[in-house]
Amino acid sequence: MVADQERIDRIIGILSDSFFPILKAGMEFTIPLTLITFVLGLILAFFIALARLSNMKAINAVAKFYVWIFRGTPLLVQIFILFYGLPSMGITLDPFPAAVIAFTLNKGAYSSEIIRAAILSIPKGQWEAAFSIGMSKSQAMRRIIIPQSIRVSLPPLGNSFISLVKDTSLAATITVTELFQKGQQIAAATYEPLWIYIEVAFIYLIFSTVLSYFQTKMEIRFERSVAK
């Protein structure tokens, strides 16, 4: 019984001491990595979606090829190609920039299909109404189609953002000291991998829950603004 109590006290002490260092790594690396790559990926996705909808065959083909490559290969392999593969060609990237580029390219491909589907979901009558009042195609897209497609794409893009928070754990494979990498270091030092990884999972759960809450609030606010 004494040994069991000592074991429990040791685990509680380790979890207590490791919680804030792991949380700090999440705030310093995981959240910034998520925000940077999501914003850059969203910008890239918008232009890729427009290229996929273009009537110019060359532009359309390039966009299709990009989406095919990055949706058809594992994100982990893409990270390894950028960080471990490019040095053989004389191109060396630091861990964090390599992770940003890999996540941006990957999320850009997935998000572009979300945006493209949202644009295509807008009824043709909206285009016809815009043309009937003298709008050009670009004006109709900017003033009518895109605002409506944002409302349609917001939920899946929000889910993609939350998924990205968890995907950033793959950056640990290239030594980015984000949340999961910090947990690995502490687990190796304390010889308590089970409890440390449960704590890491709990912190990821906190991040995901908070982001889900704000996503729901944003969707409700956007629905109200559209209704007005």
Successive 10-residue mean pLDDT values, the chain, 228 residues: 77 92 92 94 95 91 96 96 94 94 96 93 84 82 84 88 93 91 93 94 93 83 60
Write down the CATH superfamily of domain 2-227: MetI-like (1.10.3720.10)
pTM value? 0.88
Percent of the chain surpassing pLDDT 90: 67
At which residue do the structure tokens 């947990």 appear? 183
- DSSP-derived letter for residue 176 is -
Tell me the pLDDT tens digit for each residue of 135-183.
887 788 888 888 888 888 888 998 999 999 999 999 999 989 899 999 9
Residues 44 and 108: beta-carbon distance below 8 Å: yes
Q: Distance from CA of residue 44 to its chain's centroid? A: 13
Domain residue limits, the chain? 2-227
